[in-house]
Chains A and B, each alone.
Chain A
Amino acid sequence: MNDLVEVRPGVYHDSVTLMRVSRALTQRPEVAVAVVAMATELNIGLARDLGFAVPPATPGDLLVAVRAASPAELEDAAAELERQLAARTPVSDARGEAAPPRTTRSAARGFEANLVLVSVPGEHAFAEALDAVEAGLSVMIFSDNVPVEQEILLKDRARAKGVLVMGPDCGTAVVGGAGLGFANVLRPGPVGVVAASGTGAQQVTSLLDLAGVGVSHVLGVGGRDLSAEVGGRSAMQALRALDEDPATELIVLISKPPAPEVARAVRDLDLATPVVHALLGPGEDDLTTAAEKVLRALGREVPEWPSWPAPAHRAAGTRRALRGLYSGGTLCAEAALLAGEGEFTDFGDDSYTRGRAHPMIDPALRLEALRGVASGVVLMDVVLGHGADPDPSSWLAPAVRDATARGVDVVVAVVGTDGDPQGLRAQAARLNEAGAAVFTSNAAAARHARLLAGG
């Protein structure tokens, strides 16, 4: 046996350091056993139990007892022991990198926020949104697939706390100039928007922006808010809040037709600010007409909405198939209504977005569908703004060119503003050059497509 036993008088290391050193030595293949410890009675006993011959020592001394297979290996072990004892705890910034918060609750503790944007998967959105409400913060829930009971509960708690729940399934909002979710860059102005329809709000506000009229705030409330179940909880709160806002001179309420009792309740709100209702559906105004109503109510002129016709398009003598390939749900519904016939698909619907990105970001499904159209007319939307595809014409223009070459007429509604990062006019021009007729009004695009289809 090759034992190294040493007592080093007065050498002190804390017990944890010594345990680490012992472990480092014991882990070496050439070391059979190692005790490196302060020479307390207990540790001397341990070493003696292991068969080491330990000389007398006091607890203030360092005890070293190492056993190796050969003298050479013992020498290696002794060298390693010195290295280990000399090693110091590495110095690093004691504060370290401030770890990022793991919940909304925790984030709200160290950051003076006034709004929370939740976009986690729907089944987990409730916890984060409730954190926001409990911290006294308004919250936009971009997530969809949130159960309606949770929506109602959140909205009731929010009302009690004096904050607003926007959503769930709220695609767009503009608060204090910040665009949240899919949001166009809008100039500041007098119009406050309450919207239960994301792309509906984007169409109306983009047209207003093109007419030189800006917004104070755009408050989404979620597609279900004006249903009988939810009862317009957030819409009524948002309407009252905008009514109090001195910057808001006119309010636009955009929604699919609400449940009758909710519509009554909303109308019965005693507001000082005039409200224009844009309720989408058969017999109601389309979004463009609603935007024009707003302009008239403000005493502004209604401009001609920018469009870029396709010279090659001709009204069909015969009926042609019309295919609608949309990313915005409300835009799709509006176009289908105005076109009267044709096959319309909303690729932003839940059934297409499960497990993949929204078509405003991921064009793959719409492109595939466009390629599959052999003849007739295709009507599409392109939504610009923050959060949306940074350059949609880069993939759509070549596909339009191919379609045009196949004899397919392509009509595109571009929803956007001159301030949008993608550049409204540049995108429209590129699509137009590729052969598409381009409109900033979705209603105008739909009517044009209907004409081309011979309807």
Chain B
Amino acid sequence: MTLSMLYGEPRVITVGTRMLGEALDRQAVPRREVDWRPPLPGTSAALARVLADPRRAEANATAAGRMLSARPMLTGVRPAAEVLGLRAGEFFHAGPPITWERASGPMRGALIGAMLFEGMAATPEEARDRLASGAGITLDPCHHHRTVGPMAGVVSPSMWMLEVTDAEHGGTAYCSLNEGLGKVLRYGAYGPEVIERLRWMSGVLGPVLAAALRRCGPLDLRALIAQALQMGDELHNRNRAATSLLVREIAPAVVEADPGRAAEVLRFINGNDHFFLNAGMAAAKVSADAARGVPGSSLVVAMARNGTDFGIQVSGLGDRWFTGPAGVPDGLYLGGYGPDDANPDIGDSTITETAGLGGFAMAAAPAIVRFVGGEVSDAVAATTSMYEITVAEHPAYQIPGLGFRGTPAGIDVALVARTGLLPVVNTGIAGRVAGTGQVGAGLVRPPAEAFTAALDALAAEEFPLTVA
């Protein structure tokens, strides 16, 4: 066999004892040194087994390939009852499964609001009692129904959903319509103005958007997201460019579809920089779902929080959740709020990071670098560190400031354990007390145990050590 290293000038990667690398420096041998650190404590046995899985490399390439080749298209806006089969008393929520007993303030607040919105209770007290009794109430994660929801992520039958279809692989995903900032249901507020806004969204916004999309849709979200990244969005905590692009795309059709209500619809969308977030989340969800179910793959296909637990799902491990306690984001606060008012991390919006956006695309969004330490270099560092734990770079989602390098995409559980680098997540911060609403925004890291638990499960899989 021809061994190529015998013929070229030696160029060496060194990992480990510094002295051995320095001996090469003294011989003027070009080399690159790995800044190696021990893996997350207690993971070395599981790591060795997972890395030895002969299916892994190809399985991860397949899973990541599917995620990155997805072509999410915004195809429609439809009621949840119709597209998701939700019936009265059934609610979807963000994150891994949760009970009323374990639910945090904003999750409870959003469920109370949804009860009021659906007319299942006349007062918050009545809603709370019914939810606590559990009679006629079903709670289930959005993620179990091809759906994602920001913050509390509560979906009830009368809400209208963005429908996103993957033109490449044929999958479909759903996300609710964004209500705006401040006192809104997804942050756990359930006051009269919240319910009134939800009614307007179901009565006006949803139907008008649906009619408009029938005229101008489907809308290529992959292309829109790619453009927004080049306009300073990272698509999680900054959606200003994407929202503007969306309005540009749909405005004429909105006017045509319903001239009488077009102004109030467009004004509502325009007034909310985060309107696009939910469409971006559905796009990320449909892309990540395309990567599910590849045996032997250690790729993360969902990260989601319910305000109590942070959970992940892994391509090769079916629909199992691996969880750890949700952390409190380190952030900046609105008005007189402070860290004591903050609820632990909540929402399915981490689907953006799962697909290579949000915190992973921080370097694209210098306008909001103060979330990650204050300097542009911190944003660049946040993104570049994520290349260490991902298996691919997105071919369409590129970062101008990094020479149009693709965003880091496809988190590998094994790489997280090896490097100890946890995904960078940008997030909004909900008030701890039900009914408060948003109190800030910031940065959060998932709990390491979610990743080590998934690694252990991968290590417990049966597989032959050699490929047949």
Contact = CB atoms under 8 A, between A and B. Distances in A.
A168 B6 CA distance: 20
B39 interface: yes
B20 A127 contact: no
Nearest to A136: B4
A103 B384 contact: no
Contact of B1 (A35, A142, A162): A162
A170 to B, nearest CB: 12
Contact of B419 (A103, A150, A361): A103
A153 B336 CA distance: 59
A119 B20 contact: yes
Interface in B73-132: none
A128 B380 contact: no
Interface stretch (B9-17, B138-146, B275-283, B313-321): B9-17
B35 interface: yes
Scoring A50, A127, A137, A180 by chain B CB atoms within 10 A of each residue's CB, the highest score goes to A127
A396 to B, nearest CB: 20
A61 interface: no
Contacts of B34: 100-104, 106-107, 128
A37 B8 contact: no
A22 interface: yes
Interface in B148-174: none
A176 interface: yes
Nearest to B402: A95
A114 B5 contact: yes
Contacts of B387: 106, 109
Interface in A86-127: 89-96, 98-121, 123-124, 126-127
A18 B332 CA distance: 9
A147 B465 CA distance: 15
Contacts of B263: none
B contact face: mostly helix, strand, loop, or mixed? mixed
State which size class the interface on B falls in: 35 or more
A181 B381 CA distance: 33
B15 A120 contact: yes
A361 B39 contact: no
A115 B401 contact: no
A112 B374 contact: no
B375 interface: yes
B10 A177 contact: yes
A242 B33 CA distance: 28
B335 A92 contact: no
Interface in B329-379: 332-336, 338, 366-371, 374-377
A42 B13 contact: no
Contacts of A92: 375-377
A contact face: mostly helix, strand, loop, or mixed? mixed
A285 interface: no
Given A89-B376, A128-B36, A137-B13, A237 B1 contact: yes
A155 B334 CA distance: 58
A421 B20 CA distance: 15
Scoring B51, B57, B335 by chain A CB atoms within 10 A of each residue's CB, the highest score goes to B335
Given A35-B335, A128-B36, A180-B20, A244 B2 contact: yes
B4 A114 contact: yes
A153 B52 contact: yes
Scoring A102, A132, A147, A240 by chain B CB atoms within 10 A of each residue's CB, the highest score goes to A102
A163 interface: yes
Interface in B296-340: 332-336, 338
Given A101-B35, A123-B44, A175 B335 contact: no
Interface string B414-452: 010011010000000000000000001100000000000
A361 B18 CA distance: 13
A386 interface: yes
Interface string A35-47: 1010000110111
A135 B222 CA distance: 30
A175 B7 CA distance: 9
B10 A175 contact: yes
A364 B44 CA distance: 32
Contact of B335 (A50, A178, A244): A50
A371 interface: no
A178 B6 CA distance: 11
B197 to A, nearest CB: 13
A280 to B, nearest CB: 25
Contact of A99 (B6, B27, B384, B440): B384
A180 B9 CA distance: 14
B267 interface: no
A111 B32 contact: yes
A19 B368 contact: no
A96 B379 CA distance: 10
A1 interface: no
Nearest to B50: A127
Given A16-B332, A100-B34, A94 B401 contact: yes
B333 A17 contact: no
Interface in B26-60: 26-27, 29, 31-39, 44, 47-48, 51-52, 57
Given A22-B334, A114-B5, A180-B24, 11 more contacts: A19-B334, A37-B334, A89-B376, A92-B376, A113-B13, A138-B3, A138-B4, A142-B16, A153-B52, A181-B20, A386-B24
Closest 6 pairs (CB-CB, A-B): A119-B16, A19-B332, A241-B3, A96-B377, A100-B35, A46-B335
6 contacts: A14-B367, A111-B13, A114-B8, A117-B12, A128-B15, A163-B3
